[in-house]
Amino acid sequence: MNVLGIDVSPVLLTKWVDWLAPDVQPFFVTAEQAQNWNLPTDEREPTAEQRDTYRTYGVDRMATRVSWLDESTYSNLPKATRAALVRAQVNHNRGAVPTVRRWQALLGPEIRRQADGHRFVWWKSLLRDSAEVVLPRIVSEDLHSSRHTEVTTWPSTLPRARELAGTFPAGSGPNCFGTVMAAAGVEGAADVWMQREPFDTWLADHTTPGGRDDVPGTVFVWRDTAGAVQHAAITIGDNWMLHKPSQSWMTPRKIRTVADVRRSTRTSGWHLRRHRLR
């Protein structure tokens, strides 16, 4: 299977199914909703993949309770409760609550009966015969393909750029900062959720201000108005650039043109600075 111009193995596809539709998933509710709907809640922490699937970092702060439900428990709730619960997830800004309209042609009319008729949640039963169609659509949403196969010359000064380009991570965590550092040869950086502080330290120790877009080793760094680094990417020459759009399991390490990356990263309040590897 090929997604965004990148080969995806059956093993990785199986992991994607688990990350999109875990056996037990979180439903965010207020204390009043939990009581009214007789929902059990607990304090367990989501995995890194669940954090990104459900965008837990963006959930409404009023939803202070989490009900962890498996498909059987969810399906056995009264229909009115399921409908209200799913609507609440939309209102609380939880991720992975797709519209029936978008998916009914593929998944069939039964998804309309799952909750309120307008929205539903993913379970493995929905993906049993459709994972190879559903997952590529979800992963490809709002992203452009990697163009790594078009690169003709890979710079020796970036020893891991070719290896990283056109790959999906083994899970959530690996991000733009680690991708840049790994391309430059930092051992282990590709596989961790690299934080701002170690990235800034590496930047100060291994780069100098400036750099050209058409040569390898120019690190692009976007900072917000407070000076905090928000995104990074690195040129590999011939106006190509390696970057990873986010720390999510859904985003690959990909090659795009410098112009493409600049366009896709344009965000109000962010300012771009260039640094060149020493």
Q: Compute the Cα dihedral for 71, 247, 268, 257 and give only its sign.
A: negative
Q: CA angle at residue 20 from 40 to 149, to 5 degrees? A: 160
Determine the length of the chain: 278
Q: State residue 8's pLDDT score.
A: 97
The DSSP code for 273 is E
96-104 own/partner pairs: CB under 8 Å, 24+ apart: 96/20, 96/25, 96/53, 96/54, 96/121, 96/122, 97/121, 98/122, 103/134
Q: State residue 144's pLDDT score.
A: 95
Q: State residue 149's pLDDT score.
A: 98
CA count, 13 A, side-chain hemisphere, 242: 35
- Tokens representing residue 237 in the block: 């020459």
214: CB partners within 8 A, 6+ apart: 235, 237, 238, 239, 258
Q: State residue 42's pLDDT score.
A: 93
The low-confidence residues of the chain, meaning pLDDT below 70, are none
Q: State residue 271's pLDDT score.
A: 97
CA count, 13 A, side-chain hemisphere, 103: 25
Per the confidence metrics, is the pTM higher than 0.75? Answer: yes
pLDDT digits (tens, 9 = 90+) for 171-197: 999 999 999 999 999 999 999 999 999
Give 188: exposed, middle or buried? Use CB within 10 Å, 0-12, 13-18, 19+: exposed
Identify the architecture of domain 148-277 in CATH: Alpha-Beta Complex (3.90)
Domain ranges of the chain: 2-140, 148-277
- SS3 label, residue 228: coil
Q: State residue 118's pLDDT score.
A: 98
234: CB partners within 8 A, 6+ apart: 158, 161, 179, 180, 183, 184, 217, 218, 219, 220, 241, 242, 243
- SS3 label, residue 41: coil
